[in-house]
Amino acid sequence: MKKHLLYFSISVILLAGCRQKGDIYLDPSDPINMSYTTYAGQFDIIWRGMNSYYVFWSEDSTDWNNVYTTMYPKFEALDEAYRIDSIAPDSATLMDLYAEATSTLIDHHLGLQFRDVHTGKNFVYTPGEAEVKRRDYAIGQKYGVAAMTEAISSTINAGLLDRGQWGEMDGNRNFFGTRTLEDGRKVAYLWQNNFNMQESLQKEGSTDAEKNYISNIRNWLDMCLNEPRLAGIILDNRCNKGGQTRDLDLVIGAFLNEPLHYADLRYKEGPGRYDYTEWIPAYVDTTLISNRRDLEAEHIPYIVLTNAYSVSMAETSAVIIKHLPTGRMIGERTFGAHGQLMSYSTIFHDGTFGTSGGKHYVYMSSMQTRFTTEGVLEGIGITPTKTILQEDEGYLGAMTKAIDYIKAY
Amino acid sequence: MIIALLGAFDALPAYSQQPNEIRSGRGGVEFSKSRKGRRGSQYKSHRYSQIDKSAHPGIWTLGATVGASYNWQTREAGYAYDMTFTGRWGANAGVTGTYMVYDWLSIRADILYTQKNYGMQRMQPSLRQRNIHTNYMHHYLQVPVMADWTFGSEIRSHIYTGAYAAGWLAGNMTRQTVLLDELQHTTYEFTRDDNRMDGGLVGGIGISWDPLPYLRVGAEALFYYSMSNTMKKQPVMYDTRYNNTIVIGVSTKYVF
């Protein structure tokens, strides 16, 4: 029997060696891991950072292992070329390689910023924006604040809005407009190029433009809540780059009777690709506004306008309005950046890593968003109730449709 | 299995020699303590009231086992040094059967439902030193095959050595966060990086007793040493997370 026990012990010891030792996860924000001096070393640490910190691996079909095995030799080839003749690759080559590595990733908040290890030149690549530019309905279309300013002017000229006021603060613009229909009922219209409403309402504003910016938000809300002859509300989220989700408590919470469970969020709690937390429910709060208005009871439509450059919070608010009892979403399919961002990634092992302006900086979502109504649509965007493309009907198309809808409601 | 084979090659069937004396009284076969091993065993005294079925080579037993499992993971946390992984208790139950090759060696195989649970705690200084507790519960279907080295007669002692194969069935997480004080419960989603199969070594000790000629009850402690990573092999960033499971249980078997 002793012999058997001996065999057993030896076998256990031998077989115990069959457990392989794993690779150690590297912290991609640690200065030690930023001390690389080669293109391949830079790619390696960015790849590892993405491997751990990216929150959409559960949804993303990108074969991330394959990205490493196919791309790493290409970066090594750059190093080899530099070693031979000390000539750094041109900007396009380096950008193309990172584009090839990340082009299929669905996180549309993703922004890669990296510095050429030899020339010190900085590069920025945003795979999400590149994807949106390739969409058939967005090709050749003008988006942005300038295009929107022009569009609103033509909206007024076309008689779709009676009058309005421009505001500007901290580089952001907004426009509050009204329209009195033939029967005397009124339409409240607000466009803004980002969401920072709650923060803005707490400020005073020193210049006229700033005061206008704040009063535009206040006036729009006031009209939505208190105008007795309100025919409809238009929230124009076109060319809106997103912002603070707590503004949902204003633009949605003002019209709810009870808190709305609009999405579930989850972050990462470990360095593994799929080390997710549970889904955490996210609510629109109704306590911020006391004199809330029941649009359904008063039969008032709430319309949100979107286009391909309605980003993040502009999409989140749109998808909620789309599913409100009197809500309607008109325009183009949105950008597709729904993940929420938090600043303290070291707690959650996900989201943005690196140093802004440093050797590498990867900006991305730190929470995966799953809408209660439509699920995870990261990288796809929200499809409107009524699709009106700018390439067909210009900026006026969606606005015309909105006013017609309110008239007929 | 390897160990079982090693043992079988080495050993001679001890019971193949007929006992030369049968005495009355219950208790089955009893070997003298002074015998010099099984190889050419010399029996000084033997007691036989009847041929004890349960001690014959060739007999089968089949029954049920139930108990508790305690599992913990061996893994690399990497830079996530604020995470502490702890073991957790779970349940274990199933069908167990043996085939007696010699009176001192049986082959045992079980079909078990085994929970391989573990916990993770994080201390967050930035979140006012509050702990985040996450409990992972994983359900497995597990089939161990063991050599059952048996000693003694009235109350038998067992040493089990063998190997097991297991399959992941489902999992869930329960969590107490700092963001939401209530418990959050969610299904563990099987991912592309997860490995559904589990396998490794198993060994342990046990005792058994026959209160009735056809009934065998026992208690045991087994250790399952997993050699398959719960994560799939990755070419670049290979993440290793191995399960270690102790199962303590009791069993009731019918002796055929």
- To the nearest whole percent, how much of chain A has pLDDT over 90? 80
Which candidate in A23, A67, A261 is best for mutational testing of the B interface (most B CBs within 10 A)? A23
Q: Distance (Å, rounded) from C-alpha A54 to C-alpha A317?
A: 24
Q: Mutate which of B3, B74, B121 to test chain A, going by most A C-beta atoms within 10 A?
A: B3
In a domain, A62, yes or no: yes
Chosen from A9, A57, A70, A269 to mutate, greatest number of chain B CBs within 10 A: A269
Kindly state whether B203 is in contact with chain A, defined as any CB-CB distance less than 8 angstroms: yes
Task: Give the lowest-confidence range in A182-186, A341-345, B49-53.
Answer: B49-53
Structural domain containing residue A156: 145-257+292-338+377-408
Phi, psi of B251 (to 5 degrees): -140, 150
| A164 in a structural domain | yes
CB under 8 Å to A282, separation ≥6 — which residues? A245, A261, A262, A263, A264, A265, A369
pLDDT digits (tens, 9 = 90+) for A47-105: 999 999 999 999 999 999 999 999 999 999 999 999 999 888 988 999 999 999 999 99
Residues A252 and A306 in one domain: yes
Tell whether the model's pLDDT for residue B145 goes beyond 70.
yes
The tokens for B181 are: 């004080």
Mean pLDDT confidence for A286-311: 94
| Identity of the residue in A23, A58, A270 whose CB atom sits nearest the CB atom of B191 | A58
Residues A52, A119 within the same domain: yes
Interface membership of B183 toward A (CB under 8 Å): no
Assess whether A166 and A120 both reside in one domain.
Answer: no
Is the per-residue pLDDT at A159 higher than 90? yes
- Cβ <8 Å between B76 and A278: no
Q: Is A239 part of a structural domain of the chain?
A: yes
Nearest CA to CA, how far is A332 from chain B (Å)? Answer: 33
Which residues of A are less than 8 Å from B188 in CB distance? Answer: none
Q: Please judge whether B3 and A1 are an interchain contact, meaning their C-beta atoms are less than 8 angstroms apart.
A: no
Residue A265 lies in a domain: no
Q: How confident is the model at residue A11 (pLDDT cuts 50, 70, 90)?
A: low
Residues A200 and A326 in one domain: yes
Do A30 and B79 count as a contact with CB atoms less than 8 A apart? Answer: yes
Determine the pLDDT at residue B55. Answer: 67
CA torsion B54→B56→B58→B59, rounded to 10°? -10
Asked if pLDDT for residue B3 goes beyond 50, the answer is no
pLDDT of residue B97: 96
pLDDT band at A107 (very low <50, low <70, confident <90, very high): very high
Q: Does B127 lie at the interface with A, CB-CB under 8 angstroms? A: yes
Asked if residue A298 and residue A210 are part of one domain, the reply reads yes
Place of tokens 């033997």: B46
In terms of phi and psi (left: phi > 0; alpha: psi -120 to 50; beta: otherwise), the region of B94 is left
Per-residue tokens: B194: 């997860």
What is the spatial distance between Cα A387 and Cα A393, in angstroms, rounded to a whole number? 11
For residues A195 and A308, state if they share a domain: yes
Give a yes or no: residue A12 inside a domain: no
Distance from CA of B191 to the nearest CA of A (A): 7
Same domain, A346 and A332: no
- Based on the domain organization, do A49 and A96 belong to the same domain? yes
**pLDDT at residue A132 tops 60:** yes
The whole-number average pLDDT for the span A178-196 is 95
Domain tally for chain A?
Answer: 2
Q: What per-residue confidence (pLDDT) applies to B147?
A: 96
End-to-end, the C-alpha distance of chain A in Å comes to: 90
Domains of chain B, first to last: 53-255 (2.40.160.20)
Q: What tens digit of pLDDT does each residue of A245-278 get?
A: 999 999 999 999 999 999 999 988 888 999 988 8
Pairing of strands B83-102, B105-115: antiparallel
Residue B6: pLDDT band by 50, 70, 90 thresholds? very low
Q: In chain B, what residues touch A277 (CB-CB under 8 Å)?
A: 134, 173, 175, 177
Q: Establish if A5 belongs to a structural domain.
A: no
Residues A313 and A224 grouped into a single domain: yes
Q: Give me the CATH number covering residue A395.
A: 3.90.226.10
Assessment of whether the complete model's pTM goes beyond 0.90: no
CA distances, A26 to each of A43, A48, A62 (Å): 13, 7, 22
Q: Once rounded to an integer, what is the mean pLDDT over residues A378-396? A: 95
For residue A83 the two structure tokens come to 């070693």
Numbers of helices and strands, H then E, in chain B: 1, 10
- Whether A195 and A325 map to the same domain: the answer is yes
Tokens of B77: 């946390």
Query: Which element (helix H / strand E) includes A201?
Result: helix A197-201
User: Which backbone phi and psi does A221 adopt, to 5 degrees?
Assistant: -60, -45
Rounded to an integer, what distance in angstroms lies between the CA atom of residue B87 and that of residue B116?
Answer: 9
Q: Are residues A117 and A153 located together in one domain of the fold? A: no
A196 is a domain residue: yes
Contacts of A8 in chain B (CB under 8 A): 3, 161, 203
Task: Give the SS3 label for residue A296.
Answer: helix
Q: How confident is residue A12, by pLDDT bands cut at 50, 70 and 90?
A: low
**A402 and A358 in a common domain:** no
CB atoms within 10 A of CB B224: 28
Q: Does B134 touch chain A (CB under 8 A)?
A: yes
Alpha-carbon gap, residue A355 to A342, rounded angstroms = 15
What is the DSSP secondary structure assignment for residue A44, as one 8-state letter?
Answer: H
Identity of residue A326: T
Q: Does A37 touch chain B (CB under 8 A)?
A: no
User: Is A22 domain-assigned?
Assistant: no
